[in-house]
């Protein structure tokens, strides 16, 4: 089931857009921040939306920061060659 590029809804309000899945968390761009919502908090996925239930927002912010650090690491030439680039 595709979970990327969908609006994420909590309590009937759009809180952001899903952009990645990382370590069993749905990474969501929420305003200028990134948060990581545990996949176990996902209630429903349809064509345009992902509905989530309550989650630990402090932990979600920490996961979002960790994701940013991971995704911001430079890629080595060796890694690019392995990817065929």
CATH of the domain at 56: 3.10.20.840
Q: Is residue 2 part of a domain?
A: no
Q: Is residue 1 part of a domain?
A: no
**Count: domains in the chain:** 1
Residue 18's pLDDT is: 98
Q: Per residue of the chain (85 residues), give pLDDT as tens.
A: 699 999 999 999 999 999 999 999 999 999 999 999 999 999 999 999 999 999 999 999 999 999 999 988 777 788 778 878 7
Q: Model pTM?
A: 0.86
Work out the burial of residue 11: count CB atoms within 10 Å of its CB; fewer than 13 is exposed, 13-18 middle, 19 or more buried: exposed
Q: Is residue 24 part of a domain?
A: yes
Q: Is residue 20 part of a domain?
A: yes
Question: How many residues are present in the chain?
Answer: 85
Classify 12 in phi/psi space as left (phi over 0), alpha (psi -120 to 50) or beta: left
Residues linked to residue 25 through DSSP beta bridges, in sequence order:
22, 38
Q: Is residue 61 part of a domain?
A: yes
Q: Which domain holds residue 33?
A: 7-82
Q: Is residue 51 part of a domain?
A: yes
Query: If you ran DSSP here, which 8-state letter would residue 4 be given?
Result: S
Residue 1's pLDDT is: 67
């Amino acid at each position: 089931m595709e979970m990327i590029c969908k609006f994420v809804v909590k309590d009937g309000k759009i809180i952001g857009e899903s952009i990645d899945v990382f370590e069993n968390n749905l990474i969501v761009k929420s305003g200028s921040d990134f948060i990581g919502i545990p996949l176990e908090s996902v209630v429903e996925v349809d064509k345009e939306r992902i509905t989530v239930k309550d989650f630990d927002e402090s932990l979600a912010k920490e996961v979002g920061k960790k994701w940013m650090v991971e995704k911001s690491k430079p890629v080595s030439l060796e890694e690019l060659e392995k990817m065929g680039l």
